[in-house]
Amino acid sequence: MKYKPTILLCNHKGNGEPESQMEYCGNGDYVCPVCGDSYHDDDFDRGDDDSERLSAYDAALIWQSNGEDEDYMFGYTEEQLRRALE
């Protein structure tokens, strides 16, 4: 599976400025040219067969219920897991 960048819009954390398109930086990373906010698309990290991979949300629930133990992160970063719980 080849990753295809998508168009992402940034609302600048709701500060009232008009939305702008985030720029793709490579490796699934995007950055807003206006406010500097960044985003990582988890789809970039998935291999060809991710049918058995836990979703970030499910992994975050398991990680949280195990005291945020790094042994239960299932390949996600702490930031990704926290974001999934928002």
Do residues 62 and 30 share a domain?
Answer: no
Do residues 8 and 36 share a domain?
Answer: yes
Q: State the CB neighbour count (10 A cutoff) for residue 30.
A: 20
DSSP assignment of 10-51: E-GGGSSPPPEEPEEEETTEEE-TTT--EEE-GGGG--S--T
Do residues 1 and 42 share a domain?
Answer: yes
* pLDDT score of 82: 92
Structural domain that includes position 59: 54-86
Tell how far CA 42 is from the center of its chain: 5
Q: Are 69 and 60 in contact (CB under 8 A)?
A: no
Q: Are 48 and 54 in contact (CB under 8 A)?
A: no
* Mean pLDDT in consecutive groups of 10 residues from the start of the chain, 86 residues: 81 80 92 91 70 82 92 90 91
Do residues 73 and 35 share a domain?
Answer: no
* pLDDT score of 29: 92
Q: What angle do CA 49, 51, 40 make, to 5 degrees?
A: 75
* HSE-up (13 A, CA, CB side) for residue 29: 8
* pLDDT score of 51: 58
